[in-house]
Amino acid sequence: MPWEPLSEEQLEIRELVRTLARERIAPRAAEIDASHAFPWDVVELFREHGLFGLFFDEQWGGTGTGTLVSLVAVEEVSKVCATSGLVLAVQELGSLALKLAGSDEQKERYLPRLASGEWLCAYALTEAGSGSDSAAMRTLARREGDDYVLDGSKRFITNAAVASLYTVFAKTDPAAGHSGISAFVVESDTPGFEVARLEPKMGIAGSTTGELLFESCRVPAENLLGDEGEGFRIAMRVLDRSRPGVAAQGLGIAQGATDYALEYARTRETMGKPIAEHELVAAKLADMETRCEAARGLLYRFGRMVDEGAPEAELTKASAMAKLACTDAAMWVTTEAVQILGGYGYIKEYPVERMMRDAKITQIYEGTNEIQRLVIAREMLQESRAFLLSGVA
């Protein structure tokens, strides 16, 4: 038996998710991609088997099984369908602000619905002119009596039009930069809120990505998360914990492509032997597997850090490294998988073409990998390593 970093309980959950992915989701993956239709049947499958609950504590109706196993679940589903893996990852992303900064009343009102999957959720930070530069956002929120009135727009929002609850960031003090940003939870039927459009995309075609509009959108003041001006800090705390969900998606794509390329290379013959026995193809497979395992080490390390209560300040660098390694691996590995399949890899009959298209977005959303490198370097510069050089001439 191979060595496993997971406990018996975690292995049981992984086996459940792996079986569902293989038997119920994999047969749907190509159709989801071709139709560009949101996979409500997969959502229902997740509801039926309690998979949304993996991201929530028991007091809110979740399993309370921790961060590591939730990342494993996203990884397993993404091996066969990146869109379906993203459905799980975004349930964590969209709910984290509530879990980290919500009041007891807010948590009691919303978290059980999210843990059961009755409601899907979304995270609305990005705008057309404000991606990595959050301080440039233009969406405003002004206090009027017992409400806040939101005006503005958000762009590239995953789960647009299918989410029932949105975490929305807006400026309550436009002159204060990052310190003027606040966070709100907005229900989808709030007057003045609408989804203006859905984007056609290169990959993750079954996931909705849309533009949100807020026009005199009245949100009860009780829907403010934390205090005014805490929105940027909340957003960064969320991203530190949610980026590994995208990392898990990327790792799943990479491992799925590796596994498929391996099976293809075992059966496809040239010059009288399987192409897996040709040295150049064998070297590609070896490098693909190694990239996956190295990335998995960083991802699982982050999961264990959260589960074991590591200081929050240590999560920033670990999160960024996991996201960088896993998603760069996804793009590199899927490109190699297409190469191994040759002409077959470039046609839609084979899944590595879809995997390659799906992989690209993982390097972009939830903080581009260029930003992850800046984050990692910034954290390194704050560390003291002089003791390592003691005695070195």
Q: Which domains does the chain have, with CATH numbers?
A: 8-116 (1.10.540.10), 121-228 (2.40.110.10), 232-383 (1.20.140.10)
pLDDT of residue 379: 96
**Residue found by looking up tokens 């990505």 in the block:** 209
pTM: 0.96
Does 322 have pLDDT greater than 70?
Answer: yes
pLDDT of residue 302: 98
pLDDT of residue 274: 95
pLDDT of residue 133: 84
Evaluate the CA torsion angle 240, 242, 246, 249 in order and state its sign: positive
Q: What are phi and psi of 388, to 5 degrees?
A: -70, -20
pLDDT of residue 326: 98
Spell out a b/e string for 366-383, using b for 16 or more CB atoms within 10 Å of the CB, else e: bbbbebbeebbeebeeee
pLDDT exceeding 70 applies to what percent of the chain? 98
| Structure confidence by residue, pLDDT tens digits, 335-390 | 999 999 999 999 999 999 999 999 999 999 999 999 999 999 999 999 987 776 66
Q: Which two tokens stand for residue 271?
A: 């010059």
Does 391 have pLDDT greater than 90?
Answer: no
pLDDT of residue 134: 85
pLDDT exceeding 90 applies to what percent of the chain? 94
pLDDT of residue 208: 98
Q: How confident is the model at residue 4 (pLDDT cuts 50, 70, 90)?
A: confident
Which of 92, 127, 211, 366 does the annotation list as catalytic?
366
Q: Assess whether 105 carries a catalytic annotation.
A: no
d(CA 12, CA 9): 5
How many Cα atoms are found within 13 Å in the side-chain-facing hemisphere of 211?
Answer: 10
d(CA 359, CA 363): 7
Vertex 366 angle, CA 4 and 382, to 5° = 80
pLDDT of residue 2: 74
| Structure confidence by residue, pLDDT tens digits, 60-103 | 999 999 999 999 999 999 999 999 999 999 999 999 999 999 99
pLDDT of residue 174: 93
d(CA 75, CA 79): 6
Cβ atoms < 10 Å from Cβ of 40? 11
pLDDT of residue 245: 98
Q: How confident is the model at residue 131 (pLDDT cuts 50, 70, 90)?
A: confident
Mean predicted lDDT score pLDDT of the chain: 96
Instruction: Find the length of the chain.
Output: 393
| Structure confidence by residue, pLDDT tens digits, 252-279 | 999 999 999 999 999 999 999 999 999 9
Class of residue 334 by CB neighbours under 10 A (exposed 0-12, middle 13-18, buried 19+):
buried
Evaluate the CA torsion angle 109, 113, 114, 120 in order and state its sign: negative
pLDDT of residue 393: 62
| Structure confidence by residue, pLDDT tens digits, 154-209 | 999 999 999 999 999 999 999 999 999 999 999 999 999 999 999 999 999 999 99
